[in-house]
Structure 1
Amino acid sequence: MNRIDMAGRTVVITGGARGIGYAIGERLVQSGARVAIWDLRLDDSQTSAAALSKDCLGLSVDVSDSLSVEHAAQQTRAAFGRIDGLVNGAGITGPVKPLAEYSVDEWRSVVEVNLTGTFNCCRSIVPIMQENDYGRIVNISSVAGKEGNPNLAAYSAAKAGIIGLTKSLGKELAKTGIAVNCITPTTAKTKILDSLTPEFIEYMRVRIPRDRFAELHEIAAMVAWMLSEENSFTTAATFDLSGGRTTY
């Protein structure tokens, strides 16, 4: 494993208590970073942060609540003195069913966690990054945001929105030392699959040319580089992690 230099850097990972977020945290700690895990349940955040390193921080944050996010941003800044990186990984799939059967509340919940949550975190953390004219933001979108998955309209729409937000914010900050990019991973084996039917999981797998789901360490490796100083030019871009399914 290549060790990417993240010494002295502080990175916030939303939804970091498990799955993709936790795997990214492991890779960053191995590279010398300090990590703040933001997740909904305090015990999950603190347990995962402690498992990563004694220098990590675990906070309870509802990313769909702008006040919760702002409070966490200030807590993180107070603890570490700065915030250099942000991984917007908190997300939910919502129910798998036709759009016409979605309730308004179900639609709103998915969009608020995935898309509005990404907005809230960027809105609170970008000003902190601007204090040092340095930052790396990685927003976790999905192949669903590129292609749309049937019976996952809210999730697909929210993930497409994240791509658009990334392009907009990246261009806004292009003349600064802050880079904003996103990844579009295919399905990985995480707890998010528990909310999907076996038929739907197989539907997604057979569409991946590599004929397997992404491994968490593969996603973490790409994100770690995107968060590093080495990623000094690319911004407002989408990085494909679909195993050949969506190569644009």
Structure 2
Amino acid sequence: MDLNDKVVIVTGGAGGLGEAYSREIVAMGGKVMIGDLLVDKAAAVAADLGDAARSQHLDVTDPDSWQDIVTATEEAFGKVTGLVNNAGASASGVRLIDESPETFRKIVDINLYGVFLGMRSVIPALRRADGGSIVNISSAAGMVGMALTGGYGAAKWGVRGMTKLSAVELAPENIRVNSVHPGMVLTPMTAPTGITLDEGGFPSAPAGRVGRPEELTGAVTYLLSDAASYTTGAELAVDGGWTAGPAMTELGQNSD
């Protein structure tokens, strides 16, 4: 499996999971356009990756910003063959009834409306390339009812549903759309919660620990590759078993 001849736009690619995806795409032979509000960080990552990477300012809630990055990608690398809708805002950590309308709308705008705009802007480019792959990054919070996620959980469920309906609509055009659902992964966005990579540090997941960004990259690059040519409308949880069921310790049993 490789990504030779693939050209992929990655949103939120300046750090965390987005940076990991960007680096793996290049490592597998592809080219990447890193879109982010953090222009200097995105440029530094692209410079480190060399000629196979570029960066561009991107506000995922702005249609014009999306058009700019699609144009810049085609000018730099030719046909666009993939999109990783990764940029997101974290949950507010309060009950839905306590989330302000302003916070709810902001989180939904970034996590759901931004994904819609990304697909809407990139699909014409994928058509010009005679097909391609869209990978929407949802969340474990888009697979189960997760308390204290409010607008974030609502948006990630929306991403899951939008992925499926788009997969049905776009399949005749050789455009695949799938979603990846990370569990708790240690990134700059989740670090303030105090999570660590220690074994047993996340007992809610059967794996007993949080994930590392590089443990998510295989799912994303598989879906971008030709190895997934018959995979569309799928949802892939990469969460240490979190959404599969309660951990053995939560059932009162140890791992022995």
TM range (shorter): over 0.9
Tell me the distance in 1 between the aligned counterparts of 2:234 and 2:154.
Answer: 18
Query: In structure 1, which of residues 157, 168, 172 is the aligned counterpart of residue 169 of structure 2?
Result: 172
Q: Which runs of 5+ in 2 are unaligned?
A: 196-200, 246-256
Number of residue equivalences: 240
Letter in 2 for 1:191: P
Q: Which residue of 2 aligns with 1:100?
A: 97
Q: Which residue of 1 aligns with 2:254?
A: none
Letter in 1 for 2:22: G
Give the TM-score taking structure 2 as reference length.
Answer: 0.89
- The answer (yes or no) to whether the contact 2:139–2:181 under 8 Å persists in 1 is yes
Tell me the distance in 2 between the aligned counterparts of 1:99 and 1:197.
Answer: 23
Letter in 1 for 2:100: S
Deviation at 1:53, TM superposition (A): 2.1
Runs (4+) off by over 6 Å: none
Deviation at 1:148, TM superposition (A): 2.7
Q: Which residue of 2 aligns with 1:121?
A: 118
- The answer (yes or no) to whether the contact 2:81–2:131 under 8 Å persists in 1 is yes
SS in 2 for 1:110: helix
Q: Which residue of 2 aligns with 1:229?
A: 226
CA displacement, residues 182-208 of structure 1 (integer Å, 9 cap, x when unaligned) = 01110100011145466xxxxx92221
Tell me the distance in 2 between the aligned counterparts of 1:152 and 1:78.
Answer: 39
Query: In structure 2, which of residues 179, 183, 202 is the aligned counterpart of residue 182 of structure 1?
Result: 179
- The answer (yes or no) to whether the contact 2:91–2:148 under 8 Å persists in 1 is no
Letter in 2 for 1:119: F
- The answer (yes or no) to whether the contact 1:171–1:236 under 8 Å persists in 2 is yes
Tell me the distance in 1 between the aligned counterparts of 2:227 and 2:111.
Answer: 28
Question: % of aligned pairs identical?
Answer: 35
Deviation at 1:69, TM superposition (A): 1.0
1:207 aligns with 2:204: yes
SS in 2 for 1:173: helix
Query: In structure 1, which of residues 12, 18, 41 is the aligned counterpart of residue 38 of structure 2?
Result: 41
Give the TM-score taking structure 1 as reference length.
Answer: 0.92
- The answer (yes or no) to whether the contact 1:94–1:106 under 8 Å persists in 2 is no
Q: Which residue of 2 aligns with 1:241?
A: 238
1:77 aligns with 2:67: no
1:52 aligns with 2:29: no
SS in 2 for 1:5: coil
Tell me the distance in 1 between the aligned counterparts of 2:160 and 2:227.
Answer: 22
- The answer (yes or no) to whether the contact 2:30–2:52 under 8 Å persists in 1 is no
Farther off after superposition, 91-100 or 9-18 = 91-100
Deviation at 1:94, TM superposition (A): 3.8
Q: Which residue of 2 aligns with 1:109?
A: 106
- The answer (yes or no) to whether the contact 1:92–1:113 under 8 Å persists in 2 is yes
